[in-house]
Amino acid sequence: MASLRFAMFGAGFWSHYQLAGWKELAGAECVALCDPVRSRAEARAKEFGISHVYEEPREVFRNESLDFVDVVTNPETHSDLVHLAAANKTAVICQKPMATSYLQAQGMVEVCRQAGVPFFVHENWRWQTPIRQLKRVLDEGRMGQPFRARLTMISGFPVFDNQPFLKEAEELVLTDVGTHVLDAVRFLFGEAKNLYCQIHRIHSDIRGEDVATVMLKMRGGATVLCELGYAGNYLENDRFPETFAFVEGEKGSVHLAPDFWIRMTTAEGTLAKRYPPPSYSWVDPAYAVAQASIVACHANILRSLRGEDAAETTGEDNLKTLRLVFGSYQSARTGQALRLD
């Protein structure tokens, strides 16, 4: 079967890892790279052997025969690029957060629906090896129905050093890592019926919030607490960017612990096993569990593009995650719990 041809928009920090992830899979070939800074695009294209470089997105569609495009740019540009792909009847993958507002995200999903264009969001967090295993443990049912859970992604890792643009974001930790963690909550526990959020800014030289706490009541009955933080403080078990989890069920509990350990405790005792991510030579050790999951996310979307499987992280599905993200900001502003159903 011939490889699907795609163009990537954006040649910044994450493009290296997105392209390396595609290289791990048979069936997709990047034929063009577009970035407003031509020298940056040329350097990345040389690194990955990409034939054509552009500065203007419309030129890509005029000159290339494409099966899909992969949008790896800042969130402020996502909507225009997705609308452009829809106008050119080209399937599109978009980085998270999909949009800078819920209304904008709805418009992106709708324009692709009307154009009959497949639309995916590259939401890779749920594809992390330990999170997939945690889902399998919950689905097995040995610990009974979950009634309370806590997901934690807090770290003192200097995220602003290699992504300095984050300092200028008006909305930070909820749209950055919160998008990931809240999507993982939906993957693990289903949909929420209400939420309550509080936020803080600890760094004095940033514009957005770097700490957030979100409590959700799920339709299945569980209460889930999400703890998010880029405060830059010191933590005993700092394993950026690992997500830790503790889930209590009617017949037991399960702990996703540091270094990818999953420990399930029931009346029979505690079973513990480590579930590390796959190893790739291109992965930055500081981001290993997150970057390795790019490949699994790519593979799921590629199967969908080929008509072989249904993608998990479509634009329509991701709207439900963004409802939690932007609903959290609304709750933080008003000091009130937000009903979602």
Asked if the 4-122 domain carries CATH number 3.40.50.1820, the reply is: no
The yes-or-no verdict on residue 88 having pLDDT over 80 is: yes
The pLDDT assigned to 22 comes to: 98
Please say whether the beta carbons of 32 and 51 come within 8 A: yes
CB atoms within 10 A of CB 150: 16
| Span(s) in the chain for CATH 3.30.360.10 | 126-284+313-339
Total-model pTM? 0.95
Output the pLDDT for position 2: 87
pLDDT tens digits, 287-312: 899 999 999 999 999 999 999 999 99
8 A C-beta contact, residue 100 and residue 107: no
Q: Is 337 exposed, middle or buried (0-12, 13-18, 19+ CB in 10 A)?
A: middle
Flag whether pLDDT at 3 surpasses 90. Answer: yes
Residue-wise pLDDT tens digits, 17-47: 999 999 999 999 999 999 999 999 999 999 9
Cis ω before 164 (30° cut-off from 0): no
- Say which residues have a Cβ less than 8 Å from residue 121's Cβ, sequence separation at least 6: 93, 94, 95, 96, 98, 313, 314, 315, 317, 318
Q: What does the pLDDT look like over 95-123, one tens digit per residue?
A: 999 999 999 999 999 999 999 999 999 99
From-to residues of CATH 3.40.50.720 in the chain: 4-122
The CATH label, of 1.10.8.10, 3.30.360.10, 3.40.50.920, 3.50.50.60, for the domain at 126-284+313-339 is 3.30.360.10
